[in-house]
Amino acid sequence: MELPDFMSYANKFSQSDFVEKISRIAKRAGSKLVYAALILYYTLQSKKVSKANKAMIIGALGYMISPLDVLPDAIPIVGLSDDLAVLIYVLKKVWTDVDPEIQEKAKARLSKWFDDDEIEEIHDLFKEE
pLDDT digits (tens, 9 = 90+) for 49-99: 999 999 999 999 999 888 776 666 556 556 788 888 899 999 999 999 999
Phi then psi dihedrals of residue 18, to 5 deg: -60, -50
CA–CA separation, 84 and 40 (whole Å): 12
> Span 18-26, mean pLDDT?
81
Given this model, what pLDDT does residue 44 score?
A: 94
Reported pTM: 0.80
What confidence tens digit (pLDDT) does each residue in 23-52 have?
777 877 889 999 999 999 999 999 989 999
CA–CA separation, 113 and 86 (whole Å): 22
**Whole-Å CA distances, 90 to 37, 39, 118:** 10, 11, 23
| 77 SS3 class | coil
Model confidence at 111: pLDDT above 80: yes
Given this model, what pLDDT does residue 27 score?
A: 79
- Please report which helix (H) or strand (E) contains residue 102, including its range: helix 100-110
